[in-house]
A and B are shown apart, each in its own frame.
Chain A
């Protein structure tokens, strides 16, 4: 008990430092999905799009006060900084401290709400109860009306999870690793089943709550912002195809709002973990997010993007370009006619620009100039589209040619900064005007005829 006592005596600054440091590898820092006006009597409101209040030195957004309730964890997951065999400073917040910090930061517009996670203290149910009590205090005593994201602890009693769900805007259960096998080797205290159970419970809760809300408009909302999860990428040998298949399954079967991918950072130096001399696999994480967007907003399916024979994403091309160059039979797409679904599959055309194209072509046919105004990225799109039957430049619809142009700086069709136009020549350009010396010329030179 004396140990707990010393941690209580720690000054607030130190505690915040320890527990922020412990929480920083959690990725899901979003404040989106809930639109809730202020109620006029207490502090707080939520904006559907979410608001990021700052950006840290690694470029990730700071939207919520992301902290752990405690890092005195009894589990020993090999990838986790807070595993109990790791020798790091430990601390525990009291619920009051968390509430005051949240309120004071929120008033000053530093944060959009609270993200509360926790190491496992004593047992999962006890931890979940502590989290629930903290959120209850924040909502009822401090009358906080802003965004709250909490972690559901796998293995906690369903009653506590349900109770927390009525207080929080978003809940998440971390899948941690994409496959059950990976979980077994690296996180001996966690099981695939105990992770999926609360996930299913929250999904059912949201569904039931939606039905209640139809009947009773003022029924309390259960996890209004939906649930999310995260996976660690690169700690275990799964391939990209497996990962996006898992993600697709989660979106379809568990109705998740988001799946987050977190490039693995080796913080514990455990012998079971891969050493990453080149730093965390950030490009791989980036490609997975790009694919994730294609799944959610562009009508792609996982097996269209990858298959068993090519289980990894292309390093040079993004997944959409990659798909397009392998399906050239579907191109070029005529901008003035093609349906929305076809437009969405063109590299360089996003959801917004596709919508604008469909709206703008009602009042007249569009040219490449107009597409630029609309926001289409022409340097990617030009190989795949026609406007009124014409392509922008005479380009070949051929896989090698397009890949070369999309990837290499030198061979690319020359652009100005605005995506189209011509370049001013200068005397110092090496445009390769010289031609190679022919055999005949060599002979002429040798006998002195030149």
Chain B
């Protein structure tokens, strides 16, 4: 049994997939593993991330499975599950084997690995949706919009395009405090991600003059719009889980 030891990154995992095909492995007998746990009778192969190989795998995925499905695979890889690499790898193998048409990669949900990759991707996609809804910007002294999030999965890369498209003329920063990752968008230019050191953790900010006033206005708006006769905390909590609230101005 061949065990490819990957790091937890898209590059590393897609390079391993490329290598598995390049070295003509028997896919039934090959595992992609993110941890260092020993595998019985396993032959370890260390994977070195390679951007060229990654690019070629991605191109193949888009060509064979279509944009939507390859995006779903990328989302599955952003989840926190340890078996995600194996699930994605097996899904790709299965899709190439049956020569599925673009957009039909996840049709066979009765297959365990395909369902797993599908469920992981769906989970991340839901979280991306939640963050688009519940993320809040605060205006700093220098006019930069700053937002702090603490998502379960690594969703920042999927949030940036949405906000860059929506607020092209603003400087904004989204900070993932769980991974110490910054998404930075300078006005009118391309956004990029920046992985910070421990010392880069932002601590204190000075808000702009109007910031607190608008926060208060919105808080008041949310309060006033509630219809007392229809009060339903349970429903509110279903739609807006508590874990998001510590980052939202209207609940502070």
Q: Which residues of A contact B (CB under 8 A)?
A: 12-13, 16-17, 20-21, 23-25, 37-45, 47, 51-62, 65-66, 101, 104-105, 107-110, 146, 263, 265, 279-280, 282, 356, 359-360, 362-364, 366-367, 370, 373-374
Closest to A267 in B: B229
Query: Considering the chains assembled together, what is the distance between the CA atoms of A39 and B188 in angstroms?
Result: 11
CB A400 to nearest CB in B, in angstroms, measures 32
- Cβ-defined contact, A265 with B230, below 8 A: yes
A363 cross-chain contacts in B, Cβ below 8 A: 98, 107-108, 110-111
Taking a contact as CB atoms under 8 Å apart, the answer to whether B170 and A41 are in contact is no
Q: B135 an interface residue at 8 Å Cβ cutoff?
A: yes
Docked-complex contact B134 and A53, CB < 8 angstroms: yes
Known: A37-B165, A104-B210, A362-B107. A56 touches B236 (CB 8 A): yes
8 contacts between A and B (CB under 8 A): A21-B224, A54-B133, A66-B225, A110-B250, A265-B227, A360-B107, A360-B110, A363-B108
Within 8 A of A (CB), among B139-163: 139, 145, 147, 162-163
- B137–A108 contact, CB under 8 A? yes
CA distance A359 to B133 in the complex (A): 31
B79 CB-CB contact with A under 8 Å: no
A37 to B166, CA, bound (A): 8
Residues of B within 8 A of A (CB): 98, 104, 107-111, 115, 132-139, 145, 147, 162-163, 165-170, 188, 210, 214, 216-218, 220-227, 229-236, 238-240, 248-250
- The answer to whether B220 and A17 have CB atoms under 8 Å apart is yes
A66: chain B residues at CB < 8 Å are: 225
CA distance A280 to B230 in the complex (A): 7
Complex CA distance for A373 and B137, rounded to whole angstroms: 37
Inter-subunit contact B224/A24 (CB<8 Å): yes
Interfacial chain B residues near A21, Cβ < 8 Å: 224
- Whether A45 touches B166, Cβ cut-off 8 Å, given contacts A13-B217, A363-B98, is yes
Please report the C-alpha to C-alpha distance between residue A54 and residue B237 in the assembled complex, in whole angstroms.
Answer: 11
> Which chain A residues border B167 with CB–CB below 8 Å?
38, 43, 107
Least distance between A226 CB and chain B CB atoms (Å) = 22
Residues of A within 8 Å of B111, CB to CB, are 363
- A143–B227 Cα distance when bound, in Å, is 33
The 7 closest A-B pairs by CB, nearest first: A59-B235, A57-B226, A58-B230, A359-B107, A363-B108, A59-B232, A38-B165
Q: Which of A108, A146, A263, A373 interacts with B230 by CB under 8 Å? A: A263
Q: Chain B residues near A55 (CB, 8 Å)?
A: 235-236, 239-240
User: B204 → chain A, closest Cβ, in Å?
Assistant: 20
Question: Do A61 and B239 touch across chains, with their CB atoms under 8 A apart?
Answer: yes
With contacts A25-B227, A43-B169, A55-B239 taken as known, whether A108 is within 8 angstroms of B222 at the C-beta atoms is: no
Q: Is B133's CB under 8 angstroms from A38's CB?
A: no
Distance between A71 CB and nearest chain B CB, rounded to angstroms: 13
Give Cα A24–Cα B221 distance, bound, in whole angstroms.
10
Q: Which B residues lie within 8 Å of A42 (CB)?
A: 168-169
